[in-house]
């Protein structure tokens, strides 16, 4: 099975601290490396955790608050210094060009590679990247400015054919693809061999959802239903609920309520407010609602 893993590079919120870096994650899926958000210092975190900067496939920016995007100019400059030649796709709200283009034109007027800005539509669910084996979608979150969550998912894989059935029924190679796609097999005398006798199911497709930043928002539940891992912001504890609602963020308990309602398998909470010197209060509040919860931390690798 191909690796599907998430590396947390930063899980703090807007104010810098010595405990956490601003938001950024790497998703390694089907031999491709994707980045979600790019807060200040992201490229240093990539070096620290020995990730392959040069193998970065695409970048997904959830929204245009600084703690999610200020690391982007430095990362682009480093990719240029490393001699990247392949295109880099950046999926982001369309307003990113107002911020990004003047910086690029001043500091990197002659990039060694092309940057393609693909505008997100933060008011709807849509597929934004797809190939034969994976699909990446964006969906609306509820924040002070236009913000997207992201869903990374494997596509359904074909059935596995049983090797012993190939030998027993002398199934020709030309028929194997059709059987994997669900067709029955007929012997030379016309006898039908049903597909379920010849095959067994592939492992269920794995799914990862990223939700940061957002107020408590049950409308997102259909988009994240049943995912293997949900990353959901938990900026505040319950005693700061008023502040959370004012700033369109979530409490740890609210993140857990979303996870429970969406029947996810595992919850990772992050985007911690700088007011917390340790995050056990957030973990405990989330676990009181959804037991299978874990705190994000820089360097954490989540295997799906």
Residue tagged active-site, from 67, 87, 184, 228: 67
For the record, the structure tokens of 50 come out as: 């020995």
Residue pair 234/177 in contact (Cβ under 8 Å)? The answer is no
The values of phi and psi at residue 71, to 5°, are -85, -5
Q: Please state whether the peptide bond connecting residue 195 to the residue before it is cis, i.e. omega within 30 degrees of 0.
A: no
Residue pair 159/196 in contact (Cβ under 8 Å)? The answer is no
Residue 94 burial (CB count, 10 A): 14
The rounded distance, in Å, linking the Cα atoms of 287 and 281 is: 10
Q: For residue 67, what are the CA distances in angstroms to 13, 76, 292?
A: 7, 17, 27
- Does 67 participate in catalysis according to the annotation? yes
Burial class (CB in 10 A: 0-12, 13-18, 19+), 10: buried
Q: For residue 182, what are the CA distances in angstroms to 157, 166, 195, 285?
A: 12, 15, 6, 46
Buried b (16+ CB within 10 A) or exposed e, 125-141: eeebbeeeebbbbbbbb
Assign residue 190 a region (left: φ > 0; alpha: ψ between -120 and 50; beta: otherwise): left
Q: How do strand 115-119 and strand 126-130 relate by DSSP bridges? A: unpaired
Burial class (CB in 10 A: 0-12, 13-18, 19+), 16: middle
Q: Which residues are catalytic?
A: 67
């Amino acid at each position: 099975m191909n690796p599907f893993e998430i590396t947390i590079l930063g899980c703090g919120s807007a104010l810098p601290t010595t405990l956490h870096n601003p938001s950024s994650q790497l998703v390694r899926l089907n031999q491709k490396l994707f980045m979600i958000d790019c807060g200040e210092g992201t490229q240093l975190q990539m070096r620290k955790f020995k990730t392959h900067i040069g193998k970065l496939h695409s970048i997904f920016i959830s929204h245009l608050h600084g703690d999610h995007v200020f690391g982007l100019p430095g990362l682009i400059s480093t990719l240029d210094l490393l001699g990247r030649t392949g295109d880099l796709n950046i999926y982001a709200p369309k307003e990113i060009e107002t911020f990004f283009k003047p910086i690029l034109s001043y500091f990197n007027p002659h990039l060694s590679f092309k940057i393609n800005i693909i505008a997100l539509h933060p008011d709807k669910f849509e597929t934004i990247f797809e190939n034969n084996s994976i699909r990446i979608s964006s969906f609306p979150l509820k924040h002070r400015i236009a913000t997207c969550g992201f869903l990374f998912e494997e596509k359904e894989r074909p059935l596995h054919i049983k090797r012993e059935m190939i030998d027993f029924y002398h199934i020709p190679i030309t028929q194997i693809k059709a059987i994997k796609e669900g067709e029955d097999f007929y012997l030379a005398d016309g006898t039908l061999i049903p597909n379920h006798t010849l095959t067994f199911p592939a492992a269920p497709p794995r799914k990862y959802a990223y939700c940061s930043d957002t107020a408590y928002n049950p409308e997102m539940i259909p988009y994240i239903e049943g995912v293997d891992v949900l990353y959901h912001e938990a900026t505040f504890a319950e005693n700061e609920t008023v502040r959370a609602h004012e700033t369109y963020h979530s409490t740890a308990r609210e993140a857990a309520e979303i996870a429970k309602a969406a029947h996810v398998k595992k919850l990772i909470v992050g985007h911690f407010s700088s007011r917390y010197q340790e995050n056990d209060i957030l973990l405990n509040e989330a676990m009181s609602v959804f037991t299978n919860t874990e705190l994000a931390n820089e360097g954490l690798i989540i295997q799906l």
